[in-house]
Amino acid sequence: MARPRRVRALLPAALSMVLAAGAALAVSRPPDPLDGVKTSIRLKNFAAAATELQKLAAGGNPDAQYLLAVFYLNGVSGPRDPATAKTWLEKAANKGSARAAFSLATLLQDSNPPDPQGASRWLARARELGFFNTMNTGAQKGAAAAQKGAAAARPGPPSSLLPAAQLTDPAVRREALWLAASDGDVASLEALVDPALVAARDEFGRGALARAAEAASAPAVALLIRRGAPVEAPDQNGTTPLMIAARGGQPAAVDAVLAAHPNVNATDKSGNTALMHAVMSGSLAVVDKLLAAGASVAPRDVQEWSALDFAEVSGATGIAARLREKGATALHRNPVMAAYSQPTSVQRAQRDLYAGWPDLAVAAGRENPELLRTLLARGADPNALTPDGLPILTVAALSGTAHEVEALLAAGAKGNRADRRGNSALLDAVRIGRQDIVAAMLSHGVSPDGRLDDPEPPLIAAAKGGHAGIVRAVVAAHAKPDVRDQYGTSALMLVAQRTEPDLVQRLLDAGAAIEGVDKAGRTALWHAAHAGRAETARVLLERGASADHADAAGENPFGAACAAGATAVVDLMLAKGAKLEARTARGDTPLLLATNAGAVEIVDKLLTHHAEKDAQNEFGDTALIIASRNGNAALVRRLLSAGASTALRNKDRSTAADVARARAFPAVVELLKNA
C-alpha cells in the first residue's frame, strides 16, 4: 500500500529545516554534529548522509535519529521502511525531540488502521516539548476527533514541520509555499504567503497559483488570488492557471479561477484555449462552466484543431454534442478520398506545429509508411535531425510504426544516435513499451545494449517498466544480462519483485549473477522475499540462491520475508533450512522482525521451529516488548504461551508491561499482569 502523501511530505520539510538551520546559524556558532550530513544533502549525496546519520543516531543524537527516520519513511537511500522509521522516531521523541513526537502523531494517524489514541498522545507530548505547529494537520484533527469519538478528519498534509516564522530563508519559504500550494494546504499558505512569494515563479514559469490549480484545490486557489497571485500569469508554454485548472477537470477549482475574471479565451503557445484543455479532461461540467463564462468554440490551435475536434477524437460524445449546440465545427476528413489519394508530400497546416522539421521527420510520426518510403526514394536523409535535435529514427520509434522504423534502418539510419536527452531510439522505444518497434530494431542489427552513454541499459528499462515481452526479446538478442542502474540494481532483481518466474529463468540461463548485489547489498532473492513473491523465490532457491546472504544492514532474504509478512516465502525458506537466529546489524532476529511487522502466522511458525523467544536486539527489545509497544494483543498471547519472559528489560530499563502502559494499551497490560 502506498504511503499517504502526508507522511511523504516529511522529507522536503525536514530537509528544508536542516538546510535552513544551517543557513541561519552560519555565523559564530559551535560546530554542529549534523554539518557533514547537511553538506551531503546539499550535494544530493543521500547515501553518504544516511551513513553519517546512522552513526550519529546510534550514538544517541536525537536530531540525527529524527532525520534518519525521515530517510527511512521516504526511502531516500533504499526501500521505504516505516517500521524502522517508527523506532527511530520513538527514540528521538523519548530524548525530547518535539519534531519527532509530532511526526509520530502524524504517522500513527496515517497508519492502516489509524491509531487516533496514539496520535493524540504523541501530539500532546509534542506540545509539552514546545512544538507549536501553526498548521491545521491531520494529526491534530485526528486527535481532536478521537477525543469526541468521531471519525478522524483527513485534510491535506502539512507542508512544514516548523512554524512559518522559523522559516526565515527566502528560498526555503518559497519552496515551502510551493509545496503547500501543491498539497492544497490552506493553513500553511495563510502562514507563508506574502506579496513577493505569491508572484514568484520557477524556471518553467509556474508559481504557487499554477501549483494550486494543478492540485485542483479550490480553497488554495481562492486564497492565493485574494493574496495577489497573478491570475493571468502564463508558464513558459503559455499555459495559464485557468487552463491548468480546466485540464484537471475539477469544477470547483475552475470556479475559483473564474471568480477572478481571467481571459477565458487566452491561448497557450500551441493555440489551445482553456476550453480545449477542459475538453481534454473529459469533464462536461467544466466545459459548461467555461461556456457560461464566455468561452468561444471558434478558436483553432496551430494544427487547426477546434475544441470539437478534441472532443470527437477522444470519443467524448456528450461534450461534442454540447459544443455543436454552441455552433462548434470540426475538420472532418473524407475517408473515401483518403483511400484513393495517397499523399506524396507532407500536408501541413497553415500555422505549422512542425515548423523547420524535415518532411521525412513529419512523415515518420504519421503512421504512413508509404509516404515515408516515397520521401526516402526521393533522396531524403534518414539521419537528419529536427530543429530540437531529435533523430528521425527516434521520431518513428516514439510515434511511428515498425514498418517505418524498418524502412529508415534499411535506408541507412544510424541506430545508435542519441536524442537531446542522451537516449538512443531503442531506449526510447523500450521505455514506452513499443515491443513491435524494439523487435524491428533488433532484427536490423541495432545493439540490444543500446548506446554506451544511454542513461540506463534497455534491459533495465524494460524490467523497470514491467515490459516482459521486451525483456524476452532483448535477452534473446544477447543483451548483457547483468547490467546495472545507478543503484546497482540488475534486471534479475527487478524481475524478481514480480510474479514472472519464467523471466527469472531466462535471465539466469543468459548468465545473470544469482548472488549479485545492489548498492545496499541486496540480492535478487532478497528483493523477491521483500516483495512476497513466492513463485519467484522458489525458482531462485531451486537455482541455488542463498537465503542467508545478508545485505549491508545485515538483513538476509529470510529476515526480509519475515519483516514483510510474506508467509509463503517464509515457508519455502524454512523448508530449505533458513537460519532462525541470524541477526541484522541492529541485532534483530527473524522473530523480532516478524513481530514488529505484526505477522502472527509467521511468529507462530518461528516459535514452532524453536526460535529463541527471548532474543534481544541492540536496543534490548525482545519480541514481547515489541508486540507490547505495538499494542498487538494476539502476538502478546502467542509469545506468552510460548514462555516469553515478562521480566526482561530493554536499554531504557522498560519491561513489556512498562511500554504497554506508556502507550496506553490496557488490554495488553492486563495480559502481561496475569501471565
* Residue listed under C-alpha cell 533458513: 578
pLDDT digits (tens, 9 = 90+) for 378-390: 899 999 998 878 8
The pLDDT assigned to 167 comes to 55
Cell representation of residue 617: 536486539
Cell of 246: 480546466
Closest CA to 589 of 625, 552, 614, 564: 614
Rounded CA separation 272/242 (Å): 12
* Partners of 418 in beta bridges: 424
- What value does the mean pLDDT take over residues 408-426? 91
Please, which pLDDT band fits residue 350 given cuts at 50, 70 and 90? very low
Set of cell numbers at residue 206: 509556474
Tell me 164's DSSP state: G
pLDDT at 294: 95
Closest listed residue to residue 244, CA positions, set 265, 220, 216, 263: 216
- Give the pLDDT of residue 276: 92
250 vs 213: CA distance, rounded Å: 9
Distance between CA 258 and CA 232 in Å, rounded? Answer: 11
Please state the rounded mean pLDDT for residues 423-433: 93
Q: Give the 3-state secondary structure of residue 384.
A: coil
In CATH, what number does 354-478 get? 1.25.40.20
Query: Peptide bond preceding 557: is omega within 30 degrees of 0, i.e. cis?
Result: no
Query: Nearest-5° angle of CA 22, CA 25, CA 30?
Result: 100
Residue type, 554: G
Give the closest residue to 529 by CA, choosing from 521, 519, 540, 520. Answer: 540
Tens-place pLDDT, residues 543-602: 999 999 999 999 999 999 999 999 999 999 999 999 999 999 999 999 999 999 999 999
Of the chain, the percentage scoring pLDDT greater than 90 comes to 53
| Cell numbers at 155, concatenated | 485534510
Helices 567-575 and 600-608 pack at an angle, to 10 degrees, of: 20
pLDDT 10s digits, 118-133? 878 887 787 777 764 4
> Which contacts (CB < 8 Å, 24+ apart) does range 291-295 have?
291/322, 291/326, 293/258, 293/264, 294/264, 294/265, 295/264, 295/265
Residues 6+ positions from 632 with CB-CB distance below 8 Å: 595, 598, 600, 668
pLDDT at residue number 445: 92
101-117: pLDDT as tens digits: 888 887 887 777 778 78
Evaluate whether 590 touches 613 at the Cβ level (below 8 Å): no
For the chain, domain boundaries: 5-148, 164-325, 354-478, 481-579, 588-675
- Which DSSP symbol is given to 154? -
Tens of pLDDT, residue by residue over 450-460, are: 999 999 999 99
Cβ atoms of residues 287 and 253 within 8 Å: no
Average pLDDT, the chain: 83
**Helical axes 10-24 vs 35-42, angle rounded to 10°:** 120
Q: Please say whether the structural domain 481-579 has been given the CATH code 1.25.40.20.
A: yes
Please report, as a single letter, which amino acid is at residue 471. Answer: V
DSSP per-residue letters across 471-499: HHHHHHTT--TT-B-TT--BHHHHHHTSS
The pLDDT tens digits of the residues spanning 552-568 come to 999 999 999 999 999 99
Exposure string of 208-240, with b = 16+ CB inside 10 Å and e = fewer, is bbbbbbbbbbbbbbbbbbebebbbebbbeeebb
CB contact set of 50 (below 8 Å; sequence gap of 6+): 68, 71, 76, 77, 78
Q: What gap in Å lies between CA 585 and CA 577, rounded to an integer?
A: 21
Please tell me whether residue 273 adopts helix, strand or coil conformation.
strand
Nearest CA to 120 among 79, 148, 89, 162? Answer: 148
| DSSP state at residue 95 | T
Each residue's pLDDT tens digit, 49-80:
888 888 998 888 988 898 888 888 777 767 77
What is the pTM (predicted TM-score) of this model?
0.52
Per residue in 296-320, pLDDT tens? Answer: 998 988 767 889 888 887 788 899 9
The CATH fold of domain 5-148: 1.25.40
pLDDT at 11 > cutoff 60: no
9 with 183: CB under 8 angstroms?
Answer: yes
pLDDT, residue 188, reads 80
Confidence (pLDDT) at 510: 95
Own/partner pairs, 16-22, CB within 8 angstroms, 24+ separation:
16/160, 16/167, 16/172, 16/175, 16/176, 17/99, 17/160, 17/161, 17/162, 18/67, 19/169, 19/172, 20/166, 20/167, 20/168, 20/169, 20/172
Residues 515-537, mean pLDDT to the nearest whole number: 95
Set of cell numbers at residue 309: 475536434
The predicted structure's pLDDT at residue 143? 40
C-alpha grid cell, residue 315: 470519443
Distance set, CA 348 to CA 355, 366, 367 (Å): 9, 12, 15
5-148 and 588-675, same CATH topology? yes
C-alpha grid cell, residue 160: 512544514
In which residue are the cell numbers 485542483 written?
Answer: 216
Pick 164-325's CATH classification: 1.10.260.40, 1.10.3720.10, 1.25.40.20, 1.10.287.3240: 1.25.40.20
5 pLDDT more than 70: no
- In this prediction, residue 67 carries a pLDDT of 87
* CATH superfamily, with its number, for domain 588-675: Ankyrin repeat-containing domain (1.25.40.20)
Cα–Cα distance for residue pair 598/216, rounded to 1 Å:
37
What 3-state class would DSSP assign to 13?
Answer: helix
